[in-house]
Amino acid sequence: MGSAGPAAFPLRMVAPGRRTNPSNRATLRRAAERPRAKVAELADAPDLGSGSRKAMGVRLPPFALTPLAHITRMKTELVDVSETRRTLAVEIPIDRVDAELERVTRRYASQARLPGFRPGKVPTSVIRKRFRAQIFQDAAEYLIGHAVEDVLNERGLQPLETPDVKDVAIDEGKPLTFTALFDVVPPFDPGDLGTIEATRPSTTVEDSAVDQALERLRDRAARFEPAEAAAVEMGHTAVMSLTRQGTTSEGASGDEEKVDQASIEIGAPQNPPGFDAAVVGMTQGESRAFDVTYPADYANADLAGGTVHYQVTLKDIKRRIVPTLDDDFARDLGEFDSLEALRARVKADLEAEAADASDRQLRNDVLKALAARVPFTVPPSLIDREIDRRLQDFARRLMDQRIDPRQANIDWAAFREAQREPATDSVKSAMVLDAIVQRDAITATDEDVDAELQKYAAGTGRSAETIRARLAADGELPRLIAGLRREKAMQAAMSQARVTTA
């Protein structure tokens, strides 16, 4: 069961009342829920590539490519392993292999410093023998990289990741052979957007919802006064020092926790079973020790069957005073001259929140409908990439709250697995959006890019020019443009969908 801390053993801890402008509160809440500004990526769709080709590498040690004439008489065989998986078998002719081995050998000879030879005068036969493994490795990397690039360009293929090269065979006087495996997104028709069915939840705000919001405002504005009572009663707020230690149903003890000044609302639903009965009747200065045992079928499995030992000393008894809901209460909030004005503002805030929630639900419905149109199994590499992105985003949000993800009590394996289904849907919907972009020739103008950069700059304190320069240096501008095109496709899908209001 671990440490008997507040998270494991909840009590209704109360804090001094604080009056908050309801409009500001709603704005802050919406800001907290709003996704962080993102450049180069559509918030609810993963990166599937910008559509621009980069220099092709292979899964061998990294190497740099330089211009090379097309490899002639190269034998290739492309096999469709599945709808998305391709295997490419390649044979590079002997003369091209020997020529490359000779070129790499000469380069080594010009740079080698060996005892007994002047710089640049080491015989190639010595160089070939001394650096054989490195020379063959360099030649293979160079030839394979360009061969794969040539074939992909020739056949119009865009791998999702760097091809995985296997079964490499290279030797003097023999052709170089290898196999490259990679995944692609095959072309497909995204279908008629007008046949998408989606639901927009109602944005109507009932008077009862306004009443509940006003009651919550009253509740938060409550103040505490000394209670004119000799002993603790239900509904009182007991101010006490508290020590507690938990023991699991198996007998394992957790860490002892001490709280010097705990304000506990007696009778609150969050309090542990039996806690209230144990402290009712206490008088100021009195100390009590007692155990609280959770039922075996308690809703929280971590607490079920466990016991917590408490030692408490009552310091003070207070009662909670909730203000009357009237014009004075409204004026105390700072912006309203009457209760009716406050009520109107609360209703407007709730309507704005309902509209935001309705838009999100409609968008989610359309994205799900789009995801269902992918006619093939999504490559696992794309799903894993999206799961990685989600975990990184969650870790960043933890760090924004000054929580070290490595120290957080999170089962990352379980968290990752829980992301698999939503990540798969996200990848699928992004595929369909990209297919719509291609089919409908959707573009992102310079004005679109500038507007996106300005929007991001406004939230970061940096200039749009600085952000553009950074994206350009990192090669991320194509990704930004791809994200903008995808968002335009999303808007087209939402505008053409058959929407019903719940």
Task: Identify which of 4, 2, 11 has the alpha carbon closest to the alpha carbon of residue 244.
Answer: 4
Q: Specify the DSSP element, H or E, that contains 223.
A: strand 223-226
Other beta carbons less than 10 A from residue 314's beta carbon: 19
Q: Which residues contact 219 (CB under 8 A, 6 or more apart)?
A: 322
What is each CA distance from 428 to 48, 370, 494, in whole angstroms? 10, 8, 17
Q: In angstroms, rounded to a whole number, what is the distance separating the alpha carbons of residues 285 and 313?
A: 6
Task: Identify which of 468, 486, 366 has the alpha carbon closest to the alpha carbon of residue 430.
Answer: 486
Q: What is the DSSP letter of 286?
A: -
Other beta carbons less than 10 A from residue 257's beta carbon: 17
Q: Are 73 and 115 in contact (CB under 8 A)?
A: no
pLDDT given at position 168:
92
Which residues pair with residue 201 across a beta bridge? none
The amino acid at 136:
F
Q: Which residues contact 226 (CB under 8 A, 6 or more apart)?
A: 316, 317, 318, 319
pLDDT given at position 474:
87
Q: In angstroms, rounded to a whole number, what is the distance separating the alpha carbons of residues 26 and 156?
A: 51
Claim: this prediction has a pTM higher than 0.75: no
Q: Are 368 and 429 in contact (CB under 8 A)?
A: yes
Q: In angstroms, rounded to a whole number, what is the distance separating the alpha carbons of residues 243 and 257?
A: 6
* Helices assigned H by DSSP within 112-157: 124-130, 132-155
What is the DSSP secondary-structure string of 375-403?
A: -SPPPHHHHHHHHHHHHHHHHHHHHHTT-
Task: Identify which of 259, 307, 310, 309 has the alpha carbon closest to the alpha carbon of residue 282.
Answer: 310
Q: Are 342 and 327 in contact (CB under 8 A)?
A: no
Domains within the chain, CATH numbers bracketed: 1-33+223-321 (3.10.50.40), 75-183 (3.30.70.1050), 339-501 (1.10.3120.10)
pLDDT given at position 493:
96
What is the DSSP secondary-structure string of 304-344?
A: TT-EEEEEEEEEEEEEEEPPPSSHHHHHHTSS-SSHHHHHH
Task: Identify which of 197, 195, 196, 194 has the alpha carbon closest to the alpha carbon of residue 502.
Answer: 197
pLDDT given at position 46:
58
Secondary structure of residue 416 in the 3-state scheme: helix
- Cα dihedral sign for 301, 304, 306, 311? positive
Query: What tokens appear for 105 in the block?
Result: 């050998």
Q: Are 210 and 257 in contact (CB under 8 A)?
A: no
Query: How do the pLDDT tens digits run along the chain, 502 residues long?
Result: 333 332 233 444 444 333 334 433 332 233 333 333 344 343 344 566 544 444 344 444 333 333 344 445 789 999 999 999 999 999 999 999 999 999 988 888 887 777 777 777 778 788 788 888 899 999 999 999 999 999 999 888 889 888 999 999 988 889 999 999 999 999 999 999 999 999 999 999 999 999 999 999 998 998 888 888 889 999 999 999 999 998 888 888 888 999 999 999 999 988 999 999 999 999 999 999 999 999 988 888 878 889 999 999 999 999 888 899 999 999 998 889 999 999 999 999 999 999 999 999 999 999 999 999 999 999 998 999 999 999 999 999 999 888 888 888 888 899 999 999 999 999 999 999 999 999 999 999 999 999 999 988 888 888 889 999 998 888 888 889 999 999 999 999 999 999 998 8
Q: In angstroms, rounded to a whole number, what is the distance separating the alpha carbons of residues 425 and 431?
A: 10
Q: Are strands 257-265 and 85-92 parallel, antiparallel or unpaired?
A: unpaired
pLDDT given at position 72:
53
To 10 degrees, the CA torsion angle through 139, 144, 145, 149?
150
The amino acid at 163:
P
Query: What tokens appear for 465 in the block?
Result: 């020019």
Q: In angstroms, rounded to a whole number, what is the distance separating the alpha carbons of residues 93 and 386?
A: 40
Q: Residue 36, class by beta-carbon neighbours within 10 Å (0-12 exposed, 13-18 middle, 19+ buried)? A: exposed
